[in-house]
Amino acid sequence: MSARPRILFVRHGETDWNVEGRLQGQQDIPLNALGRIQAEDVGRRLAKLIDNTAHSKWLVSPLGRTRETAEIARHALGLDPKAYQTEDQLKEITFGAWEGFTWAELRKSEPLAEAERMKNKWGYVPPQGESYEMLTHRIGLWLETVKSEIVAVSHGGVARALMVLAAGLSPNDAPRYEIHQGRVLEFAEGRFRWH
């Protein structure tokens, strides 16, 4: 089997819901001021990682916070901010009925369900939501379509799914990793590393 193409993965910049610890999932929450600064910083980091930024292919989750991150980063690289493709498969995991709540709020309102999730973070499906296992299946189908190096601008849950699929991390370990904003996560040669 041939090696997978390199993926330069960018998580969207910070939002106010990130600061508050709210589950965003597929809610369309905009970047805050720090998130916009992080997106600019990502552009500078990508400039050091891509040989010819003008020819790089960008695939972006259609949610507003990822599109804004991509546009600011592309502008920082001197590229047309809007010259990227959106990819539905790169949307964040959906937490269903839990979106908009913090974990502390859920521990009070749904203590049994939240405790069940803590026992099996990868397989647990929130009400009307999606498990990391389901997300990983979705991302696996998308990953099979990636035939050349790309920049992917997406979300924390998607990064964890890629850690399992593209770098062989255990599903039990993936939820424990912090997914940074304002940095680039490189997937290459069966490994991942932060820039």
Beta-carbon contacts of 6 under 8 Å, excluding residues fewer than 6 positions away, are 149, 186, 187, 188
Q: What is the pLDDT of residues 157-170, one digit of tens each?
A: 999 999 999 999 99
The catalytic position among 12, 68, 71, 114 is 12
Q: Which candidate, 155, 100, 89, 164, places its Cα nearest to that of 126?
A: 100
Domains of the chain (ranges; CATH) run 10-188 (3.40.50.1240)
Instruction: In whole angstroms, give the CA distance from residue 189 to residue 116.
Output: 35
Distance CA(15)–CA(106), nearest Å, equals: 20
pLDDT tens for residues 27-37?
999 999 999 99
CA–chain centroid gap for 166, Å, is 14
* Active-site hit among 71, 87, 92, 99: 92
